[in-house]
Amino acid sequence: MKNTTETIHYDDRIVRYFLMATLLWGGIAFSAGLLVALQLAYWKFNFNLEWLTFGRLRPLHTNAAIFAFAGNAIFAGIYHSTQRLLKTRMASDALSKIHFWGWQLIIIGAAITLPLGYSQSKEYAELEWPLDLAITAIWVVFAVNFFWTIARRRERHLYVALWFYIATIITVAVLHIVNSIEIPVAAFNSYPVWGGIQDALVQWWYGHNAVAFFLTTPFLGLMYYYLPKAANRPIFSYRLSIIHFWALVFIYIWAGPHHLLYTALPDWAQTLGMVFSIMLWAPSWGGMINGLLTLRGAWHLLRTEPVIKFMVAALTFYGMATFEGPLLSIKSVSALGHYTDWIIAHVHGGALGWNGFLTFAMVYYLVPRLWKTPLYSKKLADAHFWVGLLGILLYYTSMVAAGFTQGAMWMAMDKGQLVYPDFVETVVRIVPLYAVRAVGGMLFITGFLIMIYNLYKTIKGAPAPQDEAVVVPARVEQHHAGEGHRRLEGMATVFSILTFLAILVGSAIEIYPTLSIHRYVKPTTKVDPYTPLELAGRDIYIREGCYTCHSQMIRKLDFDVVRYGKPSTAAESMYDRPFQWGSRRIGPDLARVGGKYPDLWHLRHMVDPRSVTPKSIMPTYGWLTQKNTDFLGLRRRVSVLKSLGVPYSDEQVSEADRLAEQQAKTIADGLVTQGAPAGLEKKEMVALIAYLQALGKKGGSDE
Amino acid sequence: MSDQEFDPMTDHEYDGIRELDNRLPEWWLALFGITIIFGFIYWLHYEFGGGHTQVQELNLAMGVIQSVKGSGPSFSEDQLNALFTAETVGKGHEIFTAKCAACHAAEGGGLIGPNLTDKFWLHGKGTSADIFEVIAKGVPEKGMPPWAEQMTEEELVATAAFVHSLKDRNVPGGKPPQGEEAP
């Protein structure tokens, strides 16, 4: 008689690798976060080193938290649960290893290039083109391995966790590729093909859905596996899984424009972004209630099991964040909250509470099982929970308070005049809250360190880990069983294609119309491109991450207009590659800063901001008066922009370096007559001043 | 029929995970429905129903601001001279230190902006009215902000009083003269 069962081994080694990487990068991401938090409380925490300034370190923090910490956590969970849900070992150990090491190398590449200032300035997509290519390649390796494993499954139907993994893999690929279409201009520099409102729309379509498909759908998948396993309870409702999965995948992709309310983005796109964000509320909560109601009859575990504790808190934070998101997407709420720390509070409620705590739950679940040893101390895990929770609450409340305070101060007007015309007043007021936030972050890290100690003690006493062996059916007939959605769950390819179509609809409808920017810019409108020197200055602005604190987008709101001037138009930024609208105002908007101050003011301000604005928290940028501008690289840069449709003359391309040197000489001579030292004409400072003085001066404001 | 509440679906089992098939909570369905209806109506209103565009809304709001703002302060030379007292000069000194010293130096000797303690003037001839005018309306093309947007009338007068008091002090280390000499 033929054997109907066989014994196989799951690849748990790769899970342990990803788990260790999660913990290592988690520590680094959190520490980088604490450092930037301290820099806002007291600017000298950048130690006057260019590599540690806020503008360069903030992208490192966000990328490390999202792609290194959460990324490795997702991979650990997916590799662990997928094998078990499909009753098969991962299809290729080699691909698993390439995925693991490739991803870690990308992270190391990011940790080196971002502090050096190699950045595209597109949030959560700052990494430059060589790393973008590497991410694409590794993601394809992951996808091949995953879908190949699905094809070899010994389970007829795909469980809901796998639906979410499929949506993640497909959508992240689409988002990353479309947002990263760029033309290299140097070894670690590039210009995106998207410009102005296109770039803004594509970037926030990406940015918002990085939250959706990197920080939400994969974690929902993990929740759907680890919560019922840890609580030993059946999932509350299969039909709720179906409804909220498809609703979430279809609706989420539309919501990106809520990051751009009242900007120069066309009204119709903003309206779509807002209404789809509101419709997203219930589908998001679908995941939360399916999780929480699964615990019916198991609530006593909340008292004894740290895993359940962390999961319940994570789901609660998820519920809070997915209520707050739609709320912030309402235009009039956004008018108050946009550019303020309320947004920072919102993302950290999600990142620390939902992603962080769910990851910790998973780690506490996995380590004892992977190392076949009980957890060293449940008490310490408990302590981790409470200290971490306190940290998150402190973080969240202080940043909401800071956001409301600053937002209200910006809006405050009396008899048509701003009550707080001096921007720095609105910063000084919230600096104490930055200190409270840093304490919150420290508590969160303290909890994390307690966990590291606990895991170290657990693993130290464990036997050498082995791959888990299981007896599985030798063969499963893959005929399509069931009806309706049940039948679809047996058809992995069709399921994946439908998921792809679901995210394609909203993407196409929102992005397609902006591909022809002339729909939104009158053909008669004349906007001058940046001169070669201004362009050089712009690239320095991007390198230093100025966009992390300064917006260049005056919203169509009275208090913005009274403070900064006419609202920004689509025409004004149409040649901006990448766009620099920004997302946070720790300093004032710069869209119309050109001509507002003399060149000497800018020089003194960048060498020592406090010499002109006594209470400023901006870093000093002394090295800009030491470093030479890369004049020779300008020809290539100008010519790439010309090929993308920016109206440069042939002379501006072939003579880019000479024209730039000429303009730099004029500015430097002017600075000398105003009392500055001589010899600045070759320095980056002059290029940056040229750029700042050009902002808002290139035409196109009368649309 | 099985009890949805407690009987897992018989053919759903994945690595030991079972599934119930409870009805969707009614409040959740209602929430979903209401947000969809709201979204649809909102969209109809702003796309086709004549809802204000953002530019129209802004113009309305700016109209309101113009109507409450008035025409801005204006004083004659004599009115100002009457207001320039030791008290206003003192108050103006504080404002000058906070807002003007960054460009004109603490003593008024000039730094980024011109020396205010000599006899030379770039804009006007250094009369009380000229000084007030330059402070209130600024010289935006040269980087001097229009302070009427940021200061109250009393603050403008006080600042002008202090700057007026600086004339001819010729503080040491001041910037070389710029503009035309005024008697």
All residues of chain B having their beta carbon less than 8 Å from the beta carbon of residue A597 are 112, 143
Residues of B in contact with A274 (CB under 8 A): 42
Is the CB of residue A562 less than 8 Å away from at least one CB of chain B? yes
Structure tokens at A132: 């973008």
Q: Cβ contact (<8 Å) for A239 and B61? A: no
- The β-bridge partners of A6 are A472
Cβ contact A417–B69 (<8 Å):
yes
* Amino acid at position A7, single letter: T
Closest chain B residue to the Cα of A566, Cα to Cα: B58
Residue A104, Cβ neighbours under 10 Å: how many? Answer: 18
B58/A267 touch (CB, cutoff 8 Å), yes or no: no
Residues of A in contact with B53 (CB under 8 A): 267
Using a 10 angstrom Cβ sphere, with 0-12 exposed, 13-18 middle and 19 or more buried, the burial of residue A51 is: middle
Check residue A611 and report its DSSP letter: G
The Cα–Cα gap between B119 and A275 comes to: 63
d(CA A80, CA A63): 24
**H/E element, B181:** strand B180-181
Which residue does chain A place closest to B47, by CA atoms?
Answer: A268
User: At residue B60, what are phi and psi to the nearest 5 degrees?
Assistant: -60, -45
CB B148 within 8 A of CB B137: yes
Name the A residues in 286-305 with CB < 8 Å from any B CB: 286, 289, 293
pLDDT of amino acid B1: 38
Rounded to whole angstroms, the Cα distance separating A667 from A85 reads 66
- Reference A168, options A49, A238, A46, A73; nearest CA is A73
SS3 content of chain B, % helix, strand, coil (to 5): 50, 5, 40
CB contact under 8 A, B21 and A600: no
Q: What b/e string do you get for A62-92 counting C-beta neighbours within 10 Å, with b at 16 or more?
A: bbbbbbbbbbbbbbbbbbbbbbbbbbbbbbb
Supply the pLDDT for residue B2.
45
Would you call B43 and A557 a contact, using CB atoms and an 8 Å cutoff? no
- A596 shares contact with chain B (CB less than 8 Å): yes
Q: Is B161's pLDDT higher than 60?
A: yes
Q: How far is CA A46 from CA A39, A138, A605, in A?
A: 6, 33, 17
Residue A152 token pair: 């070899």
Asked if B17 lies within 8 A of A595 by C-beta distance, the reply is no
Chain B contact present for A276, CB below 8 A: yes
CB A343 within 8 A of CB A337: yes
pLDDT value of residue A2: 56
CA distances from A489 to A57, A161, A634, B163 (A): 44, 12, 54, 80
Rounded CA separation A353/B140 (Å): 48
Q: Are B163 and B116 in contact (CB under 8 A)?
A: yes
Per-residue pLDDT, B3:
55
CB pairs under 8 A between A and B: 153
| DSSP 8-state class, residue A7 | E
Structure-block tokens of residue A396: 């969240």
Rounded Cα distance between A528 and B93, Å, is 43
Please count the other Cβ atoms lying within 10 Å of the Cβ belonging to residue A619. 23
**Which chain B residues touch A237 with a CB distance below 8 Å?**
19-24
B21/A283 CB distance under 8 A: no
Q: For residue B144, what is the nearest residue in chain A, using CA coordinates?
A: A597
* Cis before A578 (ω within 30): yes
Q: How far apart are CA A122 and CA A549, in angstroms?
A: 14
Q: How much is the pLDDT for B140?
A: 77
Closest partner CB to A155 (pick from B14, B35, B113):
B14
SS (H, E, C) A40-95: HHCHHHHCCCHHHCHHHHHHHHHHHHHHHHHHHHHHHHHHHHHHHHHCCCCCCHHH
DSSP for A227-291 reads HHHHHT--BSBHHHHHHHHHHHHHHHTT-GGGGGTTSSS-HHHHHHHHHHHHHTHHHHHHHHHHH
CA-based nearest residue in chain B for residue A243: B24
A232: alpha, beta or left? (left if phi > 0; alpha if psi -120 to 50): left
Residues contacting A100, CB < 8 A, separation 6+: A14, A17, A18, A21, A75
CATH number assigned to the domain with residue range B77-181, chosen from the 4 options 2.160.10.10, 1.10.760.10, 2.70.50.60, 3.40.50.300 = 1.10.760.10
Q: What is the mean pLDDT of chain A?
A: 95
Q: Which of B19, B46, B149 sits opposite A235 (nearest CB)?
A: B19
Phi-psi region of A565 (alpha: psi -120 to 50; beta: other; left: phi over 0): left
For residue range B131-159, list pLDDT tens digits in order: 999 998 888 777 888 888 888 888 999 99
- Stretches in chain A below the pLDDT threshold 70: 1-3, 477-480, 703
Give the gap in angstroms from C-alpha B137 to the nearest C-alpha of chain A: 13
* Chain A, window 21-80: residues with a beta carbon less than 8 angstroms from a chain B beta carbon: none
Q: Is the pLDDT of residue B181 over 50?
A: yes
Is B55 in Cβ contact with A556 (below 8 Å)? yes
A273, A255 Cβ separation under 8 angstroms: yes
Instruction: Report the candidate in A87, A442, A69, A499 with the shortest Cα–Cα distance to residue A252.
Output: A499
Contact B149 A562 (CB under 8 A): yes
Closest CA to A302 of A313, A286, A291, A293: A313
Residue found by looking up tokens 């403070």 in the block:
A563
Reading the block at residue A222, the tokens are: 């993990």
| Interchain contact, B54 vs A262, CB within 8 Å | yes
Q: Does A156 touch chain B (CB under 8 A)?
A: no
Q: Give the closest residue to B26 by CA, choosing from A217, A237, A246, A216.
A: A237
Contacts of B22 in chain A (CB under 8 A): 236-237, 239-240, 293
Q: At what angle do helices A492-511 and A129-151 cross, to 10 degrees?
A: 150
Chain-chain contact of A415 with B36 (C-beta, under 8 angstroms)? no
Contacts with A229 from chain B: Cβ below 8 Å: 15-17
CA dihedral of A587, A588, A592, A596, whole degrees rounded to 10: -90
Provide φ and ψ at A262, rounded to 5°: 70, 10
Q: How close A586 gets to chain B, by Cα (Å)?
A: 20
Cβ neighbours around A471 below 10 Å, total = 10
Domains contained in chain A, CATH given: 5-471+493-509 (1.20.210.10), 532-694 (1.10.760.10)
Q: Is the pLDDT confidence value at B25 over 60?
A: yes
Nearest CA in chain A to B104: A612
| Pick from B15, B21, B68: CB nearest A415 | B68
Residue-level pLDDT at A1: 44
Output the pLDDT for position A82.
98
The segment(s) of chain B belonging to CATH 1.10.760.10 are: 77-181
Q: Which of A580, A569, A560, A547 is nearest to A699 (CA)?
A: A569
**Interface membership of A527 toward B (CB under 8 Å):** no
The ipTM estimated for the assembled molecules is 0.91
Geometric angle at alpha carbon A595, from A430 and A523, rounded to 5°: 105
- Cα–Cα dist A569/A684, whole Å: 29
B58-91: pLDDT as tens digits: 999 999 998 887 666 778 888 888 889 999 999 9
What is the pLDDT at residue A461? 87
Chain B residues with CB inside 8 Å of A278's CB?
Answer: 35, 38-39
Check B65 against A556: CB less than 8 A apart: no
Task: Please report residues of B whose CB lies closer than 8 A to that of A607.
Answer: none
Query: At a CB cut-off of 8 Å and minimum separation 6, what does A29 contact?
Result: A61, A64, A65, A68, A69
Say yes or no: A490 contacts chain B, CB-CB below 8 A. Answer: no
CB contact under 8 A, B112 and A557: no
Q: Is the Cβ pair B23, A239 closer than 8 Å? A: yes
User: From the list A275, A289, A413, which residue is nearest B39 (CB)?
Assistant: A275
The pLDDT assigned to B143 comes to: 80
